[in-house]
Structure 1
Amino acid sequence: MTLAGGDDDIVKSVDEAMMDYSDLEEASSYSSKDDSADGFLGPVDYSDAKYERRSEFKDRRSTTFSDRRKNDRRRTSRDSGVGQSDKAISSVDPMNIYLREMGTLTLLSHEEELKLAKMMEDGKKRVQTAVLKTPIAIPALVELVKGLENNYEKICQIISGIEENTPKIVAKESKEFLSRVGQAVVLDKNRQELMKQYLVETHGGQNAKDLFAEIEGVGEAVVELFQDKMICAECIKAIATGLEDLSKRFRKVFVEVMGEHVEQQKSGQTELKPEDIERQVNRQMMEESGVDEKQLRLILHEVDVGWDMYKQAKEGLVRANLRLVISVSKKFVNRGLQFSDLIQEGNIGLMKAVEKFDYHRGYKFSTYATWWIRQAITRGIADQGRTIRLPVHMIETINRLLRVSKDYLLEEHREPTPEEMAEQLGTDVEKVKSALKIAKDAISLDTPVGNDGETFLGDFIEDKEKMGPDELSMVGSLRECLNQVMSSLSPREAKVLQMRYGIDVDCDHTLEEVGKCFAVTRERIRQIEAQAIMKLKHPSRIEELKVFMTD
């Protein structure tokens, strides 16, 4: 932006620190409206301005402009007080930063949502097409069939777009999937036969090229079998992982062949050409996996491109709906989780919704995602919102009771009884009482009380296992009298009584344990114990212990 002549005068006057209010009015009167700084800085309010004459600035000429700016900042900081500190704290708060960033995101139209959903589908389809061409896909499909037949897997978990609550469709799709996998197994057997013939052709003539084309045609036929079906991403990822392992195997085989080549050179044998080395590596890998190095490179490239398309579209759909998560999370505040945790749980549900979304049904994504977000937040509250976790069904029962209690309070202006709540819900009174008892949340004994941070809730709760001062005094006196009385016994008798009754030792001992300690029989220990007790019952000793006896 170009400054007008009047604005140049303003800058010059500020540098000289000799501009007063009259100069400002004079300069602004002939500054250009289009090029003035007012449009950028906003309107200036002069109602509280204190006018100073030019003469009052003369004593301040020696003060630099930067010094005056520091003084102004100090005054501003002093005047603003706590407000400025609160604003500074809020400006670096991660949650505020996140919310501000989410506010800048634009919402997607229905057409844009469909475009991203189709892009995700195209990416997954591209990966599926690439991996199904390879022979290692057939064992993976056979494993899915075994899981389906043994009820380890469900068809809705294998093929996308099938609902579990439609038995007829589930039965039809399961039967069709088993049939197609069976056809794929037959095609794979034909490919293995062609592979054996291809490996016999050592010179790579026209016959070998024709056989290789037929082998590739078998892979295309397998892809055609599942062209209209979208296999679940987890199954495709497992096959893609096998391809990556196969790529590592290629490198290992290449190193082994190169090692043999080096040994041949050292022994003076005929040197192999690079094409011979490549042919030997491809031949060995064709025997092991059914694909050569060129095929594997193209397939892995297709897999990478497909996953990139899928991830890019998924990220775009997730980011565009993060504001929806915030909106839904606000309805679950004060349920036991902090707002940031609610957003985190909601984001997990949003990502799950993106993976499960089927645009063919014609629903708007936000409508579909809201259910997944609410479900994820509800599950997060149930798992993390309480010190003692409750089952989800019990959480739902407690929530229904709270709603009934709130409605009853608004209508009758009093809390409902368990019988009235049970009548409203149509359940047993005992179940209502049990749910109300469970609904009470646990409170930590380390919860601070007051603002000093030195007093905790546990300090106000009586510890019934601890003895009071009077009991401690009584026990101390009893111990002194008992030690004095037992000192009149023989050391052996005193030791037996101490071990048998746990006096000044960790615990009491059985007759057998005491006998092992003194290397005598149990009966002998019993006799010593009886003899010691008879001595304690003597009037000269019992008189000192009478004060501690109770009726």
Structure 2
Amino acid sequence: MELNRPDTVEIYLKEVSALPLMPRREEVRATRRLATLRNRFQRTLLANDYVLRRLVRRLEETCARGLRVDQVVNISQHRPVPARLVRKRLADSAARIGRLADQNQQDAAVALGRLASKAATRAAFARMKARRRQAIARIDALALRSTQFVPLFKSLERLARRIESLHRMLRAAPSGRGSLLASDKAITASRRSLQRLEIAAGEPAETISRRFHTVARLRDMYLAARREIAARNLRLVVAVAKNYRQRGLSFLDLIQEGNAGLMRAVDKFDSSLGLKFSTYATWWIRQAITRALSEQARTVRVPSQSVQNFAKIQRILHGRDRAGEPRPTLEETAAMTGLTVAQTEAAMEAGRKASSLDEDAQHQEDGRLGDLLPDTRQEEAADLIDRSHLRARIRDLLATLPQREREVISLRFGLPDGRPHTLAEVGRHCRVSRERVRQIEVSAIERLQRPQNADMLRPFLDGPPRGGGFSAGLADSPLVADERSAAT
């Protein structure tokens, strides 16, 4: 089924209209629950040294490779922070969290080493827990985007799967004395691998498995709450998308981009600010749609600000048309929109529709627009004829020269292959010295400078003849002058 067919749009709108709206009180309760679940999911996930080191590595890569920081952290659109300062804060936090994780690994080697006393083990675990709280506090201050926690969850999942695999290998180890001796090396290696993973994570294997299942359950609850809020606000996306039809994207494409903006609003919304979610989400939906229009709707990309200015101008013009008022001038339009005349002119120019070369040409029954454009890569017929006649005259002119002179001139000026040859190259070809080639060339040019020979090429000059015409040009060419100076 084509996504842009009218029946597809009707089916989608019918399904969206069946979803009940979310009352204000329920909206507040749902957004607060979402924030709580997100906080619990992230904090439980980060309370593991293995995950912390994975996060440190991602932050270091962002700073080292110069990646866009707005794809890592949430940056306020109203109070933007320079990317340089954000990157410095990321680097400082990564270094600090890395040091805390290294200190935890040293304590984990003591606490999980099976040799420490109970008091030493409890003290080590207490220090590790305190350091994790410091690391999580620093991470909270960074305001990482929710997408950054997806690879961290997958890292914890791989760690838990690896530990479960090692446990299965140890449980499946043979119990007989002879067979135990035969597989002793494999069992020892598995136990060492398990201990290394425990030290890297900073907690026993059983705790790692329980943590993963807890994090997975919190993640599922968080995603379900996220989907519920988004689904109950799909009508808002449709309402906003209706204002951007006939701008170059289909209605369903506008809805799809608006849905992406809605999900972004769900991830960033802070219920403690006292805003209505619908008010906050409208801004993100509109921003996502306008950005998609600026990047996808036109053959040549137009800046998002120009698209917004053009939309403002269009609203004013449509309003005057509906009221039956005359179209304003450029200066009047600029005054009504609060833009300068230059900005207004640039916005209206950016809003012009690009024409396809495959469109049907006006006043042409079977022609396309591209058929009416001249092909500047092809020479005109008259130029082709003149060039053909010029080649014939040059051949006739060279035919008046002796064989050796004709060969030298042809090679020196690249007549056979288009590449001029040096005196040395011509000398090797003709098996004579450079000086002899120069003498032959001078003699040939003197013959070509004779008036009867120059008259053969005079009609092909663009302007009045200069001196001996074409042959004089050969004699005065930079190539001949350079070689003469080299010979002397």
Same fold (TM over 0.5): yes
Corresponding residue for residue 110 of structure 1: 24
Q: What is the alpha-carbon distance in structure 2 between the residues aligned to residue 165 and residue 441 of structure 1?
A: 35
Instruction: Identify if the C-alpha distance between structure 1 residues 337 and 528 changes in structure 2 by more than 3 Å, giving closer, same or farther.
Output: farther
**Is the 1:502–1:508 Cα contact (8 Å) retained in structure 2?**
yes
User: What SS does the aligned partner of 1:518 have?
Assistant: helix
Q: In the alignment, does 2:42 pair up with 1:128? A: yes
**Is the 1:349–1:372 Cα contact (8 Å) retained in structure 2?**
yes
Measure how far apart 1:112 and its partner are.
3.5
Per mean C-alpha deviation after superposition, the further-off stretch among 404-413 and 353-362 is: 404-413
Q: In the alignment, does 2:423 pair up with 1:509? A: no
Q: What is the alpha-carbon distance in structure 2 between the residues aligned to residue 281 and residue 90 of structure 1?
A: 55
**Is the 1:511–1:525 Cα contact (8 Å) retained in structure 2?**
no
Q: What is the alpha-carbon distance in structure 2 between the residues aligned to residue 383 and residue 343 of structure 1?
A: 16
**Is the 1:134–1:219 Cα contact (8 Å) retained in structure 2?**
no
Per mean C-alpha deviation after superposition, the further-off stretch among 250-259 and 338-347 is: 250-259
Q: In the alignment, does 2:429 pair up with 1:518? A: yes
Measure how far apart 1:309 and its partner are.
0.8
Q: In the alignment, does 2:263 pair up with 1:363? A: no
Q: What is the alpha-carbon distance in structure 2 between the residues aligned to residue 521 and residue 100 of structure 1?
A: 92
Out of 219, 222, 231, the residue aligned to residue 319 of structure 1 is 231
Instruction: Identify if the C-alpha distance between structure 1 residues 408 and 133 changes in structure 2 by more than 3 Å, giving closer, same or farther.
Output: closer
Q: What is the alpha-carbon distance in structure 2 between the residues aligned to residue 454 and residue 288 of structure 1?
A: 73
Measure how far apart 1:282 and its partner are.
5.3
Q: In the alignment, does 2:159 pair up with 1:246? A: yes
Question: Aligned AA for 1:380?
Answer: A
Per mean C-alpha deviation after superposition, the further-off stretch among 429-438 and 305-314 is: 429-438
**Is the 1:328–1:370 Cα contact (8 Å) retained in structure 2?**
yes
Corresponding residue for residue 286 of structure 1: 198
Measure how far apart 1:320 and its partner are.
2.4
Measure how far apart 1:405 and its partner are.
7.0
Which of structures 1 and 2 has the bigger CA Rg?
Answer: 1
User: What SS does the aligned partner of 2:386 have?
Assistant: helix
Q: What is the alpha-carbon distance in structure 2 between the residues aligned to residue 516 and residue 95 of structure 1?
A: 79
What is the CA deviation profile of residues 208-258 of structure 1, one whole-angstrom value per residue up to 9, with x for unaligned ones? 5x7666666666656777699696435544543442343354357558868
Instruction: Identify if the C-alpha distance between structure 1 residues 424 and 333 changes in structure 2 by more than 3 Å, giving closer, same or farther.
Output: closer
Instruction: Identify if the C-alpha distance between structure 1 residues 271 and 91 changes in structure 2 by more than 3 Å, giving closer, same or farther.
Output: closer
Q: What is the alpha-carbon distance in structure 2 between the residues aligned to residue 437 and residue 499 of structure 1?
A: 55
Question: Aligned AA for 1:413?
Answer: P
Corresponding residue for residue 486 of structure 2: none
What is the CA deviation profile of residues 328-367 of structure 1, one whole-angstrom value per residue up to 9, with x for unaligned ones? 1121122232323222221211111111112233333221
User: What SS does the aligned partner of 2:256 have?
Assistant: helix
Q: What is the alpha-carbon distance in structure 2 between the residues aligned to residue 414 and residue 190 of structure 1?
A: 72
Q: In the alignment, does 2:295 pair up with 1:383? A: yes
User: What SS does the aligned partner of 2:37 have?
Assistant: helix
Measure how far apart 1:297 and its partner are.
0.9
**Is the 2:414–2:420 Cα contact (8 Å) retained in structure 1?**
yes
Q: What is the alpha-carbon distance in structure 1 between the residues aligned to residue 353 and residue 438 of structure 2?
A: 53
Question: Aligned AA for 2:387?
Answer: V
Measure how far apart 1:287 and its partner are.
3.8
Instruction: Identify if the C-alpha distance between structure 1 residues 428 and 186 changes in structure 2 by more than 3 Å, giving closer, same or farther.
Output: closer
What is the CA deviation profile of residues 54-103 of structure 1, one whole-angstrom value per residue up to 9, with x for unaligned ones? xxxxxxxxxxxxxxxxxxxxxxxxxxxxxxxxxx9998954444334333
Corresponding residue for residue 345 of structure 1: 257
User: What SS does the aligned partner of 1:443 have?
Assistant: coil
Measure how far apart 1:295 and its partner are.
0.7
State the Cα RMSD in Å.
Answer: 5.4
Instruction: Identify if the C-alpha distance between structure 1 residues 473 and 366 changes in structure 2 by more than 3 Å, giving closer, same or farther.
Output: same
Q: What is the alpha-carbon distance in structure 1 between the residues aligned to residue 101 and residue 42 of structure 2?
A: 18
Q: What is the alpha-carbon distance in structure 2 between the residues aligned to residue 149 and residue 405 of structure 1?
A: 47
Q: What is the alpha-carbon distance in structure 2 between the residues aligned to residue 453 and residue 264 of structure 1?
A: 94
Measure how far apart 1:279 and its partner are.
7.5
Instruction: Identify if the C-alpha distance between structure 1 residues 284 and 349 changes in structure 2 by more than 3 Å, giving closer, same or farther.
Output: closer
Q: What is the alpha-carbon distance in structure 2 between the residues aligned to residue 218 and residue 248 of structure 1?
A: 27
Instruction: Identify if the C-alpha distance between structure 1 residues 211 and 128 changes in structure 2 by more than 3 Å, giving closer, same or farther.
Output: farther
**Is the 2:295–2:301 Cα contact (8 Å) retained in structure 1?**
yes
Q: What is the alpha-carbon distance in structure 2 between the residues aligned to residue 249 and residue 381 of structure 1?
A: 46
Q: What is the alpha-carbon distance in structure 2 between the residues aligned to residue 156 and residue 534 of structure 1?
A: 74
Gaps of 5+ in 1: 1-87
Q: What is the alpha-carbon distance in structure 2 between the residues aligned to residue 270 and residue 247 of structure 1?
A: 24
Q: What is the alpha-carbon distance in structure 2 between the residues aligned to residue 420 and residue 346 of structure 1?
A: 33
What is the CA deviation profile of residues 8-36 of structure 1, one whole-angstrom value per residue up to 9, with x for unaligned ones? xxxxxxxxxxxxxxxxxxxxxxxxxxxxx
What is the CA deviation profile of residues 312-337 of structure 1, one whole-angstrom value per residue up to 9, with x for unaligned ones? 11122222222322221121122232
User: What SS does the aligned partner of 2:374 have?
Assistant: coil
Out of 306, 326, 331, the residue aligned to residue 218 of structure 2 is 306
**Is the 1:106–1:320 Cα contact (8 Å) retained in structure 2?**
yes
User: What SS does the aligned partner of 1:199 have?
Assistant: coil
Measure how far apart 1:454 and its partner are.
5.9
Instruction: Identify if the C-alpha distance between structure 1 residues 270 and 545 changes in structure 2 by more than 3 Å, giving closer, same or farther.
Output: closer
Corresponding residue for residue 399 of structure 2: 487
Instruction: Identify if the C-alpha distance between structure 1 residues 244 and 454 changes in structure 2 by more than 3 Å, giving closer, same or farther.
Output: farther
User: What SS does the aligned partner of 1:348 have?
Assistant: helix
The within-5 A match list for 1:180-199 is: 192-193=106-107, 196=110, 199=113
Instruction: Identify if the C-alpha distance between structure 1 residues 453 and 372 changes in structure 2 by more than 3 Å, giving closer, same or farther.
Output: farther
Q: What is the alpha-carbon distance in structure 2 between the residues aligned to residue 535 and residue 253 of structure 1?
A: 95
Question: Aligned AA for 2:373?
Answer: I
The within-5 A match list for 1:166-205 is: 192-193=106-107, 196=110, 199-201=113-115
Measure how far apart 1:458 and its partner are.
1.8
Instruction: Identify if the C-alpha distance between structure 1 residues 110 and 475 changes in structure 2 by more than 3 Å, giving closer, same or farther.
Output: same
Corresponding residue for residue 11 of structure 1: none
Instruction: Identify if the C-alpha distance between structure 1 residues 529 and 323 changes in structure 2 by more than 3 Å, giving closer, same or farther.
Output: farther
Per mean C-alpha deviation after superposition, the further-off stretch among 400-409 and 115-124 is: 400-409
**Is the 2:408–2:441 Cα contact (8 Å) retained in structure 1?**
yes
Instruction: Identify if the C-alpha distance between structure 1 residues 358 and 502 changes in structure 2 by more than 3 Å, giving closer, same or farther.
Output: same
User: What SS does the aligned partner of 2:49 have?
Assistant: coil
Instruction: Identify if the C-alpha distance between structure 1 residues 451 and 222 changes in structure 2 by more than 3 Å, giving closer, same or farther.
Output: farther
The within-5 A match list for 1:408-423 is: 413=326, 416-417=329-330
Instruction: Identify if the C-alpha distance between structure 1 residues 413 and 194 changes in structure 2 by more than 3 Å, giving closer, same or farther.
Output: closer
Corresponding residue for residue 207 of structure 2: 295
